[in-house]
A and B are shown apart, each in its own frame.
Chain A
Amino acid sequence: MAGRIITLTSGKGGVGKTTATANLGVALARCAQRVVCVDADIGLRNLDVVMGLENRIVYDLVDVVEGRARLRQALIKDKRLPELQLLPAAQTRDKSAVTEKQMIKLCEDLRKEFDFILIDSPAGIELGFRNSIAPADEVIIVVTPEVSAVRDADRVIGLIEASEKPAPRLIINRLRPAMVRRGEMLDTADILEVLAIELLGIVPEDETIITATNKGQPVALENRSPAGGAFMRIARRLMGEDVPFQTFEDSSGWLERLSHLFKR
C-alpha cells in the first residue's frame, strides 16, 4: 500500500513543528509503521538535531533533488527505531534550491518505501511553505494557545483551503492546564471556535521536551512523559483508531489532588 504524505505547518515559528514532527515520527514508528521524516526547512535545518541524527548526515535533500546522491544514500536510519528514517535538509542552501515539482517527485518516490512521509515545514507562508504543502495528502496545523499563533494558523488554513487540499487537522501544543483553569490561557474551545477544524490532539506543556530536544532524544520514546503519551495518542488517531481525548492533570495540581483525597 502506498504511504501517506503528511505535512506539519503553522505559519508562526517556534510553536513546535519540528518537535512535533520528530515525536510523531517516533510514535508512528513505535506503532510498527515505516516512517520517514523530511526536513523541508532548507538552510535552517534542525530536525536532525532534534532526532539526534546530526552526526550521520552525508547527503541531504538538495543532493538528492540535484542528482548528486540517490535517495537511499541520503536517508538516515534512526539508531533506536529501525522503522524510522530521516531525510535531512541542506544547511548551506536556501529555499529556492528546490521547486514544488521536485518536492512532489521526491515524495512520490518515498511513498513507495514508507507508510508515512512526515514533512516538517518551515515557518512562514512563502516559498518554503509552498514547497512543503505541494506534495501533501494531508496537512496538520500546529498551534500554541496564543492569540498570535492562532491568527497565523487561521491564515495558513485559509491558504491550504485555497490550494484545494482536504481540510487540515489541528494539534494544540504546549497547553498549560493550570493556566487555562485560571483563565489566563486560551483553552481548546477558544481555539477551535476560531479555527473551526478537526482536533487531532492536545500536547501538554512538558519541561522534559526541552532537555529531550537538546539531547536529541524525542519524548515519544519514553513511556512516562505526558507529552510523549500525547504524541502516541495522536499517532494512533492518525492510524484511524478512535482514541478518547484526555483532560490533563499537571504536576502543579498535586495539592489539589491531595485535598480531593482528604475530602473523601
Chain B
Amino acid sequence: MVTLGEGEWHTVLNHLAAQLRRPGAQAFFQGARVFLETGTRALEVTQIEELIALLAQHGMTLVAVSEPSSQAALQRVHATLPPVPETLAVKEAAPPHPDTANETYALLVQRTVRSGQTYQYAGTIVVIGDVNPGAQVIAEGDVLVWGKLRGVVHAGAAGNVQAIVGALVLAPTQLRIGHLIARAPEEKRTPYFPEVARVRDGRIVVEPWTEISGRGG
C-alpha cells in the first residue's frame, strides 16, 4: 500500500520514485500489486495515470485506490473529493486472500508504526520504517520490515505456518507465526543484522536473512 503525504504532487511523486530506486527495492517490489491511499489529496485522473506509469517502470501494478483510514479525514475527504475513476475504485480495501505462495498481494506501509497503532491485512505486509514497541502488525501472509521491528508481530495469522517474518533489526516484543508464539531473548544483542524468523520442526527459529525465497529450508 502506498500512502501519499502532503505537499506538491510532483514532489510526492519524485519522493516515491526515489524510494523505489533504493538498492534492493527493485527486486523487492518486482511484480507487486499496489494499493494507493490518497491521504487528504484529491487526485486528478492524470495524476493517477502518472503514478501508474511510475509503478510500471518498476514492474508494479496499481490495483486499487482507497480513502484514508482516519475517520475525521474520511468525512472531510468525502466532502471535497471528486469521485475516484470507476475503473480504479474499490469498495473493499482487502483483496481476497491468496491461496498460493506465488501470489503477491501486499500491504505497503511507508511510515513508522507507532505504539497503539495496528496494521492487519489478509496478505503480506511490508513496512518501510520501524515498528515501535506497543505497535502490532498482523498479516495472514509474511511480514517484512525494512527497519527495526520491536512491536508485536504475527505472520500467518490465519494459521499458515509457512509464513515468515523478516526485518533489518528483528527484536519484536513478541513474534507469532500461525499458532506459535515466541518472545525475544531478554538480553540485548549487538550488532544487529537482518534476520528472518520461520517455523522449522514445529518451532520458531531465527536465522540471518540471506535469501527471502528459501522457504522452509
Residues of A that sit less than 8 Å from B by CB: 151-152, 154-155, 157-159, 161-164, 193-194, 196
In the complex, the answer to whether A158 meets B130 with C-beta atoms within 8 Å is: no
Give the distance in Å from the alpha carbon of A61 to the alpha carbon of B167 in the complex: 49
- Across chains A and B, the number of contacting residue pairs, with CB separation under 8 Å, is 37
Q: Taking the nearest CB of chain A, how far is it from the CB of B15, in angstroms? A: 15
Instruction: Give Cα distance in the complex from A158 to B70, angstroms.
Output: 12
Cβ contact within 8 Å between B72 and A155:
no
B115/A151 in contact, CB under 8 A: yes
User: What are 17 residue pairs bridging A and B, where the CB atoms are less than 8 Å apart in the complex?
Assistant: A152-B115, A154-B134, A155-B115, A155-B116, A155-B134, A157-B114, A158-B114, A158-B116, A158-B117, A161-B111, A161-B114, A164-B6, A164-B70, A193-B148, A194-B130, A196-B112, A196-B130
CB within 8 Å of A: which B75-121 residues: 111-112, 114-117
Q: Is B136 part of the binding interface, using a Cβ–Cβ cutoff of 8 Å?
A: no
A158 to B111, CA, bound (A): 10
Interface residues of B in 41-96 (CB under 8 A from A): 70, 72-73
Which residues on A sit within 8 Å (CB–CB) of B133?
151, 154, 194
- Report the minimum CB–CB distance from A125 to chain B (whole Å): 8
Is A194 a contact of B132 with CB atoms below 8 Å? yes
Q: Is the interface of B mostly helix, strand, loop or mixed?
A: loop
Q: Is the CB of B132 within 8 A of A162?
A: no
Task: Collect the chain A residues with CB atoms within 8 Å of residue B117's CB.
Answer: 158
B172 to chain A, nearest CB (A): 14
Complex Cα spacing A154 to B117, Å: 10
4 more contacts with CB within 8 A, not counting A158-B117, A196-B130, are A151-B133, A164-B6, A164-B73, A194-B130
Closest to A152 in B: B115
Minimum CB distance partner of B69 in chain A: A162
Assembled-state Cα–Cα distance A196/B131 (Å): 12
Within 8 A of A (CB), among B107-157: 111-112, 114-117, 130, 132-134, 148, 150
B40 within 8 A of A: yes
Q: Which residues of B contact A163 (CB under 8 A)?
A: 70, 72
List B contacts of A161 (CB < 8 A).
111, 114
With a 10 A CB-CB cut-off, give which of B73, B117, B132, B133 has the most chain A CB atoms.
Answer: B132
Cα separation A253 to B41 with both chains bound (whole Å): 54
CB-defined contacts of B150 to chain A, threshold 8 Å: 194
Q: Point out which of B111, B115, B133 has the most chain A C-beta atoms below 10 A from its C-beta.
A: B115
- Report the bound CA distance from A158 to B136 in whole Å: 13
How far, in angstroms, from A210 to B134 measured CA to CA in the complex?
32
Query: In the complex, are the beta carbons of A162 and B112 less than 8 A apart?
Result: no
Known A151-B134, A194-B133; contact A164-B114, beta-carbon cutoff 8 A: no
